[in-house]
Amino acid sequence: DTGVSQDPRHKITKRGQNVTFRCDPISEHNRLYWYRQTLGQGPEFLTYFQNEAQLEKSRLLSDRFSAERPKGSFSTLEIQRTEQGDSAMYLCASSLGDYNEQFFGPGTRLTVL
Amino acid sequence: SQELEQSPQSLIVQEGKNLTINCTSSKTLYGLYWYKQKYGEGLIFLMMLQKGGEEKSHEKITAKLDEKKQQSSLHITASQPSHAGIYLCGADKEYSGGGADGLTFGKGTHLIIQP
């Protein structure tokens, strides 16, 4: 499968715990995006990378959130001290070059108890 | 900030019927993207529109961007059960002028196909 993959697909955690999600983009894609989607809403942009550089962060990305793309390939999104309001689907997408056709992964569903 | 409003919020259509979903922007659209999402899954890219008056088709789905580039419609002909899902429109940020950064999405239209 050469699409965008995300791991894990589901994560249940207790409030206050840290969680980390991984995204593997389509191999030749240089841009990688993170979005958050809550029930009944469209995806909300969190941050994006061009190669290993993080170029934009949404104001939704509080200090508890951090994202990395160390070698310009896979990316991780970490949430520290999770809160119930962090429960959502976290989506990763990738795109190539100047084109903004973003291809999405299956998402990681986070439930914070 | 740019907002995208989709209508209707939900739609129940008998199999075989045609349907239209609309996406309206508060500001000029530089790039408009249509995606489909199955419940609890990721988004599947359908089509991208950039030019005023542009129209694209794929199988039984046709998307159009109006001349003023503030509204797009998605039309499905002879609907099938496989068309069921959530249809989302997304747009390039206005200040990016079409650059490749994060998209702004509408809330989606839930489509149910009745056999």
Answer whether B42 sits within 8 Å of A45, measured CB to CB: no
Closest CA to A10 of A69, A90, A76: A90
- CA R_g for chain A: 13
Of the two residues B113 and B53, the one the predictor is more confident about is B113
What is the three-class DSSP state of B40? Answer: coil
Q: How would residue B10 be classed by pLDDT, with cut points 50, 70 and 90?
A: very high
**CA distance linking residue B64 with residue A27, whole number of Å:** 31
Alpha-carbon distances of B20 from B7, B48, B74, rounded to whole Å: 9, 17, 6
Task: State the Cα angle at A78 between A74 and A82, rounded to 5°.
Answer: 155
Q: Which residue of B has its CA nearest to A43?
A: B105
- Residues of chain B numbered 55-114 and touching chain A (CB < 8 Å): 88, 90, 92, 98-108
Mean pLDDT over B79-100 rounds to 80
Residues of A with CB under 8 A from a CB of B: 4, 6, 31, 33, 35, 40-48, 55-56, 58, 89, 91, 93, 95, 97-107, 109
**CA distance linking residue B33 with residue A27, whole number of Å:** 22
Closest CA to A57 of A81, A36, A84: A36
What pLDDT is stored for residue B40 in this prediction?
A: 84
Q: Which residue of A has its CA nearest to B87?
A: A42
What pLDDT is stored for residue B39 in this prediction?
A: 86
Closest CA to B22 of B13, B37, B14, B11: B11
Q: CB of B6 within 8 A of CB of B104?
A: no
Of A42, A45, A107, the CB nearest to B42: A107
What pLDDT is stored for residue B98 in this prediction?
A: 46
Closest CA to A100 of B104, B86, B67, B107: B104
Q: How would residue B95 be classed by pLDDT, with cut points 50, 70 and 90?
A: low
Q: What are phi and psi of A31, to 5 degrees?
A: -110, 140
- Tokens representing residue B55 in the block: 């129209």
Query: A6-38: per-residue pLDDT in tens?
Result: 999 999 999 999 999 999 999 989 999 999 999
What is the three-class DSSP state of A85? Answer: helix
Q: What average pLDDT does the structure give for chain A?
A: 92
Q: Does residue B99 register a pLDDT over 80? A: no
Answer whether A56 sits within 8 Å of B102, measured CB to CB: yes
